[in-house]
Amino acid sequence: MFTGLVEAMGRVGGVVEDHAGRRFAIEFLQPPAHEPLAIGESVAVSGCCLTVVSAAGQSFDVQAGPETLARTNLGDRRPGDLVNLERALRLGDRLGGHFVQGHVDDVARLIERRLDGEWEFFYFQTSPRLCPLMAPKGSIALDGVSLTLVDVDDDGVFSIMLIPHTLAVTTLGRLAAGDRVNLEIDMLAKHVARLLGRS
């Protein structure tokens, strides 16, 4: 379980084909908080919950299977690319974002960025089937970043507004039109929708 508050950015150091999946070598750009990473630990890599299979200092390796590569933007990642990193919640940690599982629901494509003073509006396109689970002022995670929705249209277009800090310390500030991000719907919305559907 995660909060969507990115701890650091990392750089992909290497990508190796691993049977039907891929193995990614990733390096923290800043030293990881708390104790060093441990093998078997869960880390959100741009919003995807992955397991550490090797760790040394500020570098670690994770594996992504074919399902993850097909349903997320990790299949697009190449050496040198930046990713958002967050370690799993520990008992007693502050919950500053919202509950994020690291289970990506879909990808969204950036269609427009619009400046508003020092802030920026971002407009994304995703599958219209997800729109009933998204609400203005509700929570969403994009590339592992906990954000608040501004507007949601039935055709799959939604918007968020980013403050300068988020633009500076996450990969979202480096996005250009056409780039894809990992999208995770608020888990509470998914559970409520399933319960209502059954009744």
Q: Which amino acid is at 171?
A: T
pLDDT in tens, the chain (199 residues): 898 999 999 999 999 999 889 999 999 998 776 778 899 999 999 999 999 999 998 999 999 999 999 999 999 999 999 999 999 987 767 777 788 989 999 999 999 999 998 899 999 999 999 999 999 999 999 999 999 999 999 999 999 999 999 999 999 999 999 999 999 998 877 777 777 875 4
pLDDT at res. 198: 54
81 and 113 fall within a common domain = no
52 and 110 fall within a common domain = no
Residue that has been written with the tokens 């691993």 in this structure: 18
Structural domains of the chain, count: 2
Query: Which domain covers residue 66, as residue numbers?
Result: 8-87
Give 64's contacts (C-beta < 8 A, 6+ positions apart).
Answer: 21, 22, 23, 24, 48, 50, 72, 74
Residue that has been written with the tokens 């969507």 in this structure: 4
Q: Any idea of the CA torsion for 176, 182, 188, 192, to the nearest 10 degrees?
A: 100
Give CA–CA dist 33/86, Å, rounded.
10
Specify if 168 maps to a domain. yes
The contacts found for 131-138 with CB under 8 angstroms, 24 or more apart, are 131/155, 131/156, 131/158, 132/193, 133/185, 133/186, 133/189, 133/190, 133/193, 134/158, 134/185, 134/189, 135/189, 138/186, 138/189
Q: What is the CATH number of the domain that holds 63?
A: 2.40.30.20
Specify if 1 maps to a domain. no
The pTM (predicted TM-score) of the whole model is 0.92
131 and 169 fall within a common domain = yes
Specify if 3 maps to a domain. no
114 and 184 fall within a common domain = yes
Spacing of C-alpha 89 from chain mean position = 15
